[in-house]
Amino acid sequence: MSVAEYKHILRIAGKDIEGGKKLIVALSQVRGLGYNLSQVIVQSLNINPNMRVGFLSEREIADIETAIRNPAQIGVPSFYLNRRKNMDTGLDTHLLTSDLDFTISNDIEREKTVYSWRGYRHMFGLKVRGQCTRTSGRKAGAVGVKKLPKPGPAGAPGAPAKETPPASGTSTPKAAPEKVEPSK
């Protein structure tokens, strides 16, 4: 392919991708596609994975986009998909970009309304997947021990001034209590 046909920026699956990146790295930038799934898609389409994205033909870009929309159509195993056995349809699907975010937020809200254990953990902002919470995962609510400044030698700057006790036999004057007049 000639330099005249090089594209500096491509749009694949709703994501602007720089033309100088390698194909697998560029595909893994799309939200919902990982490095491994990108590699499987490229291998199944028989495209060179080390090719720069800017040199792809229009036909190759169209093939990649159809493979991204429906990976099972080109023979990608179901364990590569990110939405297996959907609760509503029971089908294995692969979600991308905003669909992925929307579905995840719906799943979390469903767990909260059902009051499942995971729903409770999400509601209270705690760790959901069984991680340790005794020492980690704290967010500004736990206050540690307040450190006081170390006392220095007497007379040093920042050291507390010593109060001299009153001499023995002398008493300090006490303030007279205030009179409160009863209200009429």
Q: Locate 170 and state its tokens.
A: 């002398």
Alpha-carbon gap, residue 52 to 20, rounded angstroms: 6
The DSSP-derived string for 93-139 is B---HHHHHHHHHHHHHHHHHHT-HHHHHHHTT--SSS---SSS---
Alpha-carbon gap, residue 44 to 42, rounded angstroms: 6
**What are the φ/ψ torsions at residue 126 (nearest 5 degrees)?**
-95, 170
Class of domain 3-80: mainly alpha
Angstrom CA distances, 6 to 1, 2, 82, 98, stand at: 8, 7, 33, 29
- Which residue, 51, 54, 20, 26, is CA-closest to 38? 26
Q: What is the DSSP letter of 85?
A: S
Residue 43: CB partners within 8 Å, gap ≥ 6?
49
For every one of its 184 residues, what pLDDT tens digit does the chain have, with 9 covering 90 and above? 566 688 888 888 888 888 889 999 999 988 989 899 999 999 999 999 888 989 888 999 999 999 998 888 888 888 888 888 888 888 888 888 888 889 889 989 999 999 999 999 999 888 999 899 888 877 766 566 777 888 877 766 665 566 666 666 666 666 667 777 777 6
